Chain A
Amino acid sequence: MAAAPEPLLRIRELRKNFGAHEVLKGISLDVHAGEVVSVIGASGSGKSTFLRCINVMEMPNAGFLDFEDAHFDFAEGSRSRPSEAQLRALRARIGMVFQSYNLWPHMTVLENVIEAPMRVLGRPRAEAVATAESLLERIGLADKRGAYPSRLSGGQQQRVAIARALAMKPRLMLFDEVTSALDPELVGEVLALMASLAQEGMTMLLVTHEIGFAREVSTRTVFFDQGLIAEDGPPREVLRRPKSERLQQFLKRVLHEHVADEVAGGAQP
């Protein structure tokens, strides 16, 4: 058997607390290139905080993170705590998509997508525009390049947000409950785009409540419970045959809501 390749992202014993409240109690996770890892768990289980620690939108209180040539030790007083410049370099290579899209309302769709490549990567405008145009083409919004975000639907805004992150040509994409703020009928178009990214081999970490999507698209599912990874494995195993009672209860609750949603949706005239 060949030696396993180095993981793209290696996290060890990651801890994060807000005041006295410990949200992450020592998370270790390896993500290899091409993996699509879905992170599930109840609200408050620390899954979103974990995602935000990976690109250090939240500064962890302890633990180690290796991503390509970046090696951080977050322990208080450690010499390898990330500097401002290192953080920027890390974030430039890790794309993040948020629940609330967070497009910049004073810029057009095209301006949103070319801003970071020009400012952060120093790309010439023409090159940034060419990249942006092909991305907009791909997400089916080429005709909206001159529109301001307020003119777009939630689903369209979220697709532009994904294109904005992709324009940086990231090695890893983080999706933080990106369909939670969308009207139910707009969820599909965003999930379809994410599925096609996964198919192309993009390495992805996604926090999601869409259990069906996690099962179909991810190569691996991680269940967060009370600040720790409680289960980790192929989605079919984790989701079909949950070992812990906590995950069984969680799945029952989520799937029940789902069914209730569908019944309510179906009952509408």
Chain B
Amino acid sequence: MTFSEWLDFFLPYVPGFLHASWLVLVITVLVILVSWVCGLLVALGKASQIGVIRQASNFYIWFIRGTPALIQIFIVYFGLPQLGLGLSPFVAGVLALGINSGAYVAEIIRSGLSAIPKGQVESSLALGMSRVETLRRIVLPQVVRIILPSVTNEAISTLKNTSLLSTITVVELTLYAQTIIATTFRPFEFYAATAVIYLIMTTMLSQVAAVLERHNARYV
């Protein structure tokens, strides 16, 4: 295939690929939002004084990390309607991936908080700062720096995991590629193109994180 033949072959699918990639980014952002809500709640839950809340948080982390994401997606999309809670593929997908990622985010937050020496909080409280000010001004800025690499990894995992939603009819990048391949019978070209697009998106993510990390490393 010459280059111009190759271009003619791909060109009609470019808008479709762009649209599917955009959808991947939208889903990723929404999943990250859900996962941070879940993660913060569960990280707090694990530190709770109330035994039931602590156990529920531990159960959540244990269950999510011990079962495949695909099964979790199936439970939400195929299982919940049986209990009277039918969700659109998009909503079910975002929810399932968010709940999945939330377990990992909870562990990331917990490890970040436990890495801050107790003296950091004490010196702030001893000056008369409130607990909220201490958390906001002293603890969180340090936690953010510590957890940034893990948070980046988790965001990259999340982005890649969106391909699992192809199994519940969300026409994101992977399912879009599959539908083209079904008519063109060119799996190698289109899966390779799909892989390259994922790679571009994950590379962009790690570049952003690298810039942030450099900024945060100024005081180390």
Contact = CB atoms under 8 A, between A and B. Distances in A.
Q: Do A and B come from one complex?
A: yes
Contact of B125 (A57, A107, A115, A165): A57
The prevalent SS among residues of B at the interface is: helix
A90 B137 CA distance: 21
Interface string A27-55: 00000000000000000000000000001
B169 interface: no
B219 A98 contact: no
B217 to A, nearest CB: 11
Contacts, number: 72
B138 interface: yes
Contacts of A106: 141-142, 145, 219
B219 A150 contact: yes
A119 B123 contact: no
Interface in A165-189: 165, 168
Given A100-B119, A104-B120, A57 B126 contact: yes
B137 A148 contact: no
A57 B126 CA distance: 7
Contacts of B130: 84, 88
B127 interface: yes
B123 A102 contact: yes
A116 B125 contact: no
Nearest to A151: B219
A148 B128 contact: no
Interface string A78-107: 000000100011111011101010111111
Interface of A: 55, 57, 84, 88-92, 94-96, 98, 100, 102-108, 115-116, 119-120, 148-150, 161, 164-165, 168
Interface of B: 117, 119-120, 122-131, 133, 137-138, 141-142, 145, 218-220
Given A102-B123, A107-B219, A164-B127, 4 more contacts: A95-B126, A102-B122, A104-B120, A115-B127
